[in-house]
């Protein structure tokens, strides 16, 4: 039988579909943190599937070229989507967009080869102009 207060005890709780007790949860968190520290110190193995992912770049601090590219792509995507929406005039930021409108904007963007923020910004500007 597995003892409480160990990572194996935490796994046993989870296998049974029950929440781990505090001692097992704490031991499991410590085991996960130790494994992450080891990987950060030693780096990801060359055949690790986390290479080229944002998890490899951020959680495991891998700085190989594929992981760096994943980090750059993530930041560029975040800047592209969030940055463009935040650059909209303050009056437009308060307009709420329904799920149906969002889906329609995605379809328009895809058909025109434009980005979502550009389509949303143009639509919001037209909306505000009509409702002043």
* Predicted confidence (pLDDT) per residue in 35-52, tens digit: 888 877 887 888 888 888
80 and 115 Cβ atoms separated by less than 8 Å: yes
pLDDT of residue 2: 67
44 and 50 Cβ atoms separated by less than 8 Å: yes
Tens digits of residue pLDDT in 58-105: 888 888 888 888 888 777 765 554 444 444 444 444 455 556 666 777
- Residue 93's CB is within 10 A of a number of other CB atoms, namely 11
């Amino acid at each position: 039988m597995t003892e409480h207060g160990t990572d194996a005890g935490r796994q046993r709780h989870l296998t049974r579909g029950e929440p781990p007790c505090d001692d097992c949860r704490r031991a499991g968190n410590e085991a996960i943190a130790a494994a992450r520290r080891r990987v950060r110190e030693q780096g990801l193995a060359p055949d690790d599937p986390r290479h080229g992912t944002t998890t490899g770049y951020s959680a495991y601090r891998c700085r190989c070229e594929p992981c760096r590219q994943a980090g750059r792509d993530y930041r560029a995507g975040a800047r592209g989507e969030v940055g463009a929406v935040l650059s909209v005039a303050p009056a437009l930021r308060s307009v709420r967009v329904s799920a149906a409108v969002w889906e329609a904007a995605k379809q328009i963007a895809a058909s025109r080869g434009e980005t979502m923020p550009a389509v949303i910004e143009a639509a919001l500007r037209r909306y505000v102009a009509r409702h002043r």
